[in-house]
Amino acid sequence: MVHFSAEEKAAITGLWGKVHVEEAGGEALGRLLVVYPWTQRFFDNFGNLSSASAIMGNPKVKAHGKKVLTSFGDAIKNMDNLKGAFAKLSELHCDKLHVDPENFRLLGNVLVIILASHFGKEFTPEVQAAWQKLVAGVATALAHKYH
């Protein structure tokens, strides 16, 4: 089970307070679909995903991105029990959505990259390391109930 030090928690919550969840969520999901086009396989009903600008401007992508990142916010409130916090979502992603957990790792890394672009110098190697631990923990928690 992943354990976060006080410094790591501070690095994470400190940055999270300044994140525009709606905007960042749309950007994260959008970039996932642009950079790793095979991830579009889960979003056949999202309409126009034919170009980078179509994807980034797509209202369904933005809405779903917001949903996903809001849920990520729950992870931050439950850093000491990610597996418990994401148990139900894990079952959903396996049994109903059929999402390969590799996609959680891809999205987590895209999120880290977005934080880097928004926060620049503030996103130091130490801050990045804390966030890498978090996104890895979330990915593992979301995969935990797979069978």
Partner 1 sequence: MVLSPADKTNVKSTWDKIGGHAGEYGGEALERTFASFPTTKTYFPHFDLSHGSAQVKAHGKKVADALTNAVAHIDDLPGAMSALSDLHAYKLRVDPVNFKFLSHCLLVTLACHHPAEFTPAVHASLDKFFSAVSTVLTSKYR
**Which whole-number Å values give the CA distances from 135 to 45, 51, 55, 105, 109, in the listed order?**
27, 27, 23, 7, 7
Is the CB of 33 or the CB of 94 nearer to partner 1?
Answer: 33
From the list 63-71, 76-84, 88-96, 105-113, the region that binds partner 1 by CB under 8 A is 105-113
Using the rule CB under 8 A, which residue among 15, 31, 79, 90 binds partner 1? 31
Q: Is 94 in the site for partner 1 (CB under 8 A)?
A: no
Q: In terms of DSSP H, where are the helices of the chain?
A: 6-16, 21-35, 52-57, 59-77, 82-85, 87-91, 102-119, 125-143
- Residues with Cβ within 8 Å of 11's Cβ and at least 6 positions away in sequence, in order, are 126, 127, 130, 131
b (16+ CB within 10 A) / e for 8-32: beebbeebbeebebeebbbbbbbbb
From the list 4-12, 16-24, 40-48, 116-124, the region that binds partner 1 by CB under 8 A is 116-124
Is the CB of 70 or the CB of 132 nearer to partner 1?
Answer: 132
Q: Is 5 in the site for partner 1 (CB under 8 A)?
A: no
- Give Cα 105 distance to the centre of its chain: 8
Is the CB of 6 or the CB of 98 nearer to partner 1?
Answer: 6
85 vs 20: CA distance, rounded Å:
22
Q: Is 34 in the site for partner 1 (CB under 8 A)?
A: yes
Using the rule CB under 8 A, which residue among 75, 114, 139, 141 binds partner 1? 114
Using the rule CB under 8 A, which residue among 52, 88, 95, 97 binds partner 1? 52
Q: Which residues lie near partner 1 (CB under 8 A)?
A: 30-31, 34-35, 52, 55-56, 109, 112-114, 116-121, 123, 125-126, 128-129, 132
